[in-house]
Structure 1
Amino acid sequence: MKQFISRRSFMKATGAATALTAVSFAAPAASAEETNCFLGDKSAVTILYTNDVHTYIDKKSPELTYAAIAALKKSYEDAGQNVLLVDAGDHIQGTAYGSMDDGETIIKLMNEAGYDLATPGNHEFDYGMARAKAVMKEADFTYISCNWVDLRTGLKVLPTIKMFTIGGARIAFVGVTTPETFTKSTPAYFMNASQTKYIYDILGGDDGQKLYNAVQKAIDKAKFLGATYIIGLGHLGVDPSSSPWTSEEVIAHTTGFDAFIDGHSHTVMENKQVADASGKAVTLTQTGSYFKNVGKMTIGADGTITTELIHTYEGADAAVAATAAEWISAVDDMLGEEIAVGDSKFYINDPATGKRRIRSGETNLGDFVADGIYTYFNEIEELHCDIAIMNGGGIRTDVDAGPWSFKTCKTVSPFGNVACLMSVTGQQIQDALEFGARFVGSDGKENGGFLHVAGARYEIHAMMPNTVLTDDKNVWQGSATTPRVTNVEIYNKTTGTYEPLNPSATYALAGMNYTLRNLGDGFAMFDGATLIKDYVSEDYLVMSSYAAMFGGVDGNGLPHLSSANSPLADYPGYLLNYEEPYGAGRIQIIW
């Protein structure tokens, strides 16, 4: 059964990003890290802040948008008040509005909105190192990070701090980027062309000490330059899975911060007091994600620091709104063609708790995306594929019942990864499943590398300890000494049965290049595996192709996405249940 779908040819607005030479943007002179915007006698300063916007720009008033935030900032300026606007990372990736031009329009919107400063989050690197550097040059505002290092020179890639002289005070921001960037972006981007060694580092350390030391040096530099207030602008988060690199741990192991604006964990945190290494209380705050809030920090004339989260704003800057509307319309036009109808809701979140489940357990959308990869190779490419895997971190949003378009698929899988097929051993499959399951049951830790499967099923013994060997960047180094993953079985299309995985046998494994070839999420066990076919199609087009193969076509010519209509329904004994939010039972967690 060989089927193809017609699709438009999409041209990215930026074209190919030009490779940039590695340089350090840091400058030793104080004047290179300061703005000359002294505004008179000591008075209150307002700092507006965002984090983890993830390109969610298609909001409607009074919801927050870049246009609303631009108007909010201008309202303070028009009233003669001192105001800065900063961002704590993850702003160019997340939806089709970011990925269709590699973040170019998002940076344009941030420029027009009047951002003064940002720190890179892990997703600023999703389009590759050259594009990450290009983005930072396109910005009219400064990017800072005290722990991103070029290992070839030993120099910081970005300025470590940024000083603003405003309201009669000298306010220094210290930029901090999560060391999880290596595995939550693509480790290959931080390596040389032959992928034999790292040429960049995001300082972290197994015990966090490299990170703490880098932050403390930046704080000390700000003090030396005469900072009145020192504020962290970090993309670290507070999730236990990010330990020892959380913002709370950084504060606790350093001295000198007055406040810390955070991101990464999507936490709504208006004001939390965290003691630093000297016992001083430091204000920690985060807005959540997706423009749910904009933060407002006020440094009073008397030195007191207060914070609040603003949920809505009625105003909108007309020019910024027009830029956003034009791009939204263009993307919607490119990707708006309806291709199928979902008869059920597809989940990444647990419908019972609302918490994100896709990174720790099976869902029907995890099954669907993995099935799309499996079917693409077996039915469209007409190659033999035994098993397909998909990392949970690459599946980004629930999909309500109703029409599916290319944009739906692009929003679910916005990263632009491509499908590939490799010949691997059963032991490599075992190692991958074990590595992906290493945090399941561990205090609710999420793992973007949790693996959803097609053509397979397996069990996870959650109460057993994790014994997978990893390095200080959480990259796989060796097999588990005591496996938590057992009873791995591979579907046999000939017999219609699931058969035990043979560690010494060879299997055809499909997935995205992010996981199989680029060390994404730390999957290094496939090094040396034989490539069967690469770069067949982008992630969202693989999903679109699968959706277009369903039966149950209605009067509008649209297939209906139900289990009975799937081409895999013709595979006898295949585990398939898209109507069940928790999937078909391919992943059993044993407590």
Structure 2
Amino acid sequence: MKHFISRRNFLKAVGVTAAASAMAAAVPQASAGFLTGKDAAVTILYTNDVHTYIDNKSPKLTYAAIAAMKQGYVDEGKPVLLVDAGDHIQGTAYGSMDDGATIIELMNEAGYDIATLGNHEFDYGMARAKAIIKEADFPYVSCNWVDLRTGLRVLPAVKLFPAGGKWIAFVGITTPESFTKSTPAYFMNAKQTRYIYDILGGDDGRKLYDAVQKGIDKAKTLGADIIIGLGHLGVDPSSSPWTSEEVIANTTGFDAFIDGHSHTVMENKQVYDAAGKPVTLTQTGSYLANVGKMTIAEDGAITTELISTADVSDAAVAATAEAWINDVDTMLGEQIATTDIKFYINDPAAGKRRIRMGETNLGDFVADGIYTYFNEVEQLDCDIAMMNGGGIRTDVAAGKWTFKTCKQISPFGNVACLMSVTGKQIQDALEFGARFVGPEGKENGGFLHVAGATYEIHTDIPNTVLTDDKNVWMGSATGTPRVQNVRIYNKKTGAYEPLDLNRTYALAGMNYTLRNLGDGFAMFDGAELIKDYVSEDYLVMSTYAMIFDAVNDMPVLSSANSPLASYPGYLLNYENPYGAGRIQVV
């Protein structure tokens, strides 16, 4: 593992905390590069959902380019701020290999002034989320993350900066979806008996709107001239009632809103607040495809643009990034397989992220890897494996596979487990995972890909699954199930047989879903654990790839070469981007 941040270690050694203001109350501060005592236009550079994509090549954007862009304004004596709207420490091996430490180092070196937390800032656990806040040289803000034991916010709601003769305030907002799009167990006590943290949302959104309005009102009290939402909320319908558009419509006082979460390319959309005032809403997309540039004119008028390329680079930041990229590539660079197949999370025809709403060949492959690991490596009798679509992160081109390939597909560091569950619990899980599937193509990270099973989703039947205000499962469908004709593969007969709701099955998956309430799967509470912590997600997948039949001593990934090809009647079709037909949407 990489050793890093000598500058921070030095500061700690002499008693200086690098992010002392991050957990403190919002106190206006000046900082070289943006403080100016005269009226002037102010530039705000902004990013969101970078997801650790630091290996972009020139002229694409990098943290080194962004650092140089900001420094250009500083050198000209122009006021400038650099902000981030969340999801910056998780997404690729460059984040997961050191739990985001190098990403924070890069953001420190780039000169970020403020950030808010996205749901993926919690992916390495609550202790790590808090450690990241301390490691950052910039403050984090969130008006709706609270400690239920004290009733107090964990972070300041608002932060003010003097720039261009104005006071500019940022109100931080974190999506309440963080519970189910990270891991609910991280927000609970050690015994997982009660929540000790909340991210205020509410079934109707009122808790979120009230928290945001209080943040706006505080910014006004502190003397803000311009108030900007710095939120990780997004505009996806599946995020309702917690979208940025709904927050703006139910509050008053924002002048602009820098958003994240939905990976939307939105240069400038005017959304009317509760008083009928237009508010500028903007988002850069994702993966540093763009950096946003907001300009606040001397008269307070706000304009925005998205910049997709840069021909400048900060040498020191570039060196830090290059060293870490080389380290990770070396650690994970060994080739383990080859293939002529392109594996998909996206629909190759429609371009949508299909992995969260329908079957793909990569969804089948990852689920098969879990199923095979327990049946062939652990030599345990696994009946069915499940894998949530949100845990499968990238298309994979044809060609060589390395450990890094698998880490890019599954970067979360979840571990596989095997549990004894009832057929009813399997039915409940599939029904819960399919609750958003329909003609409108609504994404859901909890959509379940399966190995050793098939099922149908009847989209003409309404969803009646019971959930709480955090979208955690509370009870079975109260009406006719939309998931029907569930069949489990029998390894002895080679046939897919109807699910018996009263029978016990051995179910494999990641502990994120089966044990930690990930994506809200709470129906497995009380199930018997057969084996846990057998291997990390990407290593389970790597193991599967390495036991395919080889040509010239190199495993070749194809349906015919899979160890599961020897299972009579088992549904395999990796050559089809849409998989083997295990999930039928009716």
| Class of the TM-score when normalised by the shorter of the 2 chains | over 0.9
Task: Report the CA distance between 1:41 and its aligned residue.
Answer: 1.2
Where does residue 281 of structure 1 map in the other structure?
Answer: 278
Distance in 1, matches of 2:215 and 2:327, equals 42
* Post-superposition offset of 1:107: 0.2
Question: Which of 310, 316, 327 is the equivalent residue of 1:313?
Answer: 310
Distance (Å, rounded) in 2 between the aligned partners of 1:24 and 1:474 = 33
Report % sequence identity. 79
- 1:544-576 deviations in whole A, cap 9, x for unaligned? 00000101x233x21110000000000000000
How big is each residue's C-alpha offset from its partner over 1:66-113, in whole Å with a ceiling of 9 and x where there is no partner?
A: 000000001111111110000000000000000000000000000000
Aligned match of 1:569: 565
**Runs (5+) with no aligned partner, structure 2:** 6-19
Kept after mapping to 2: 8 A contact 1:14/1:101: no
**SS, match of residue 561 in structure 1:** coil
The answer to whether the aligner puts 1:114 opposite 2:111 as a matched pair is yes
The answer to whether the 8 Å contact 1:88/1:119 transfers is yes
Unaligned ranges ≥5, structure 1: 1-10, 16-22
Letter in 2 for 1:547: A
Which of residues 573, 583, 586 is equivalent to 1:587? 583
CA contact (8 A) 2:371 2:384 kept: yes
Aligned partner of 2:523 in structure 1 is 525
Displacement of 1:284:
0.1
> Secondary structure of the residue that 1:564 maps to in structure 2?
coil
Tell me which of 409, 412, 415 is aligned to 2:409.
Answer: 412
AA aligned opposite 2:526: G
SS in 1 for 2:565: helix
Aligned partners of 1:14, 1:447: CA distance in 2, in Å? 36
Shift in Å at residue 27 of structure 1?
4.6
Asked if the contact 1:203–1:211 (Cα under 8 Å) also holds between the matched residues in 2, the reply is: yes
Out of 21, 43, 46, which is 2:40 matched to?
Answer: 43
Q: Please tell me the residue identity of whatever aligns with 1:546.
A: Y
Provide the secondary structure at the position in 2 that maps to 1:358: helix
Superposed structure 1 runs of 4+ greater than 3 Å apart: 11-15, 23-28, 33-38
> Is 1:24–1:155's contact at 8 Å kept on the other side of the alignment?
no
The structural deviation recorded for 1:42 is 1.1
SS for the counterpart of 1:480 is coil
RMSD: 1.4
CA distance in 2, matches of 1:503, 1:587: 19
CA distance in 2, matches of 1:226, 1:464: 53
Q: How much does 1:24 deviate?
A: 11
Partner of 1:326: 323
Q: Deviations over 1:248-270 (max 9, x none)?
A: 00000000000000000000000
Partner of residue 514 from structure 1, selected from 509, 512, 515: 512
2:137 aligns with one of 137, 140, 144 = 140
Determine if the alignment matches structure 1 residue 157 to structure 2 residue 154.
Answer: yes
Distance 1:524 1:13, change over 3 A: farther
Alignment of 1:98-113 (within 5 A): 98-113=95-110
Q: Which residue is equivalent to 1:243?
A: 240
Question: Could you tell me how far apart the structure 2 residues matched to 1:248 and 1:103 are?
Answer: 30
**Whole-angstrom CA distance in 2 between matches of 1:476 and 1:13:** 41
Match of 1:19 in 2: none
Output one character per residue of 1:144-180: Cα deviation in whole Å (capped at 9) or x when no partner. 0000000000000001000001110000000000000
Match of 2:560, SS state, is: helix
In structure 2, which of residues 425, 430, 434 is the aligned counterpart of residue 433 of structure 1? 430
CA contact (8 A) 2:22 2:140 kept: no
How many angstroms apart in 1 are the aligned matches of 2:282 and 2:554? 46
Aligned to 1:505: 503
2:338 is aligned to 341
Equivalents in 2 of 1:413, 1:237: separation in Å? 23
- Look up the equivalent residue of 2:155 and give its one-letter code: L
- Say whether the 8 Å CA contact 1:419–1:536 is kept in structure 2: yes
Q: After TM superposition, give the deviation of residue 237 of structure 1 in Å.
A: 0.2
User: Distance in 2 between the 1:246 and 1:126 partners?
Assistant: 21
Deviation at residue 303 of structure 1 after TM alignment: 1.1
Listed one character per residue, the Cα deviations across residues 331-363 of structure 1 (whole Å, up to 9, x for unaligned) are: 000000000012210000000011100000000
SS in structure 2 opposite 1:428? helix
* Equivalent in 360, 364, 369 of residue 363 of structure 1: 360
Q: Is the 8 A contact 2:52 2:92 kept in 1?
A: yes
| Matched-pair contact (CA < 8 Å) for 2:87–2:120 | yes
Distance change in 2, residues 1:14/1:100 (3 Å):
farther
User: Could you tell me how far 1:14 is from its partner in structure 2?
Assistant: 7.8
- Write out aligned runs for 1:168-179 (5 A): 168-179=165-176
Q: CA deviation at 1:432?
A: 0.2
| Cα pair 2:4 2:102 within 8 Å, conserved | no
How far the C-alpha of 1:25 sits from its partner, in A, is: 6.3
Q: Distance in 1 between matches of 2:37 and 2:4?
A: 42
Tell me if structure 2 keeps the 8 A contact 1:391–1:450: yes
Q: Whole-Å Cα distance in 2 between the matches of residues 144 and 85 of structure 1?
A: 14
> What is residue 490 of structure 1 aligned with on the other side?
488
Q: How does 1:132-281 map to 2 (within 5 A)?
A: 132-281=129-278
Give the Cα–Cα distance (whole angstroms) in 2 for the partners of residues 405 and 175 of structure 1: 39
Deviations 1:230-284 (A, max 9, x none): 0000000000000000000000000000000000000000000000000000000
Match of 1:60 in 2: 57
Letter in 1 for 2:448: L
In 2: Cα distance, 1:507 partner to 1:13 partner: 44
| Contact 1:33 1:159 survives alignment (8 Å) | no
Residues 13 and 100 in structure 1, CA contact (< 8 A), matched pair in contact too: no
Matched residues in 1 for 2:410 and 2:328: separation?
15
1:565 aligned counterpart, secondary structure = coil
Number of matched residues?
A: 569
Superposed CA deviations along residues 367-423 of structure 1, whole A, max 9, x for unmatched, are 000000000000000000000000000000000110000000000000000000000
Once residues 34 and 359 of structure 1 are traced to their aligned partners in structure 2, the CA distance between those partners, rounded to angstroms, is: 43
Matched, 1:80 2:77: yes
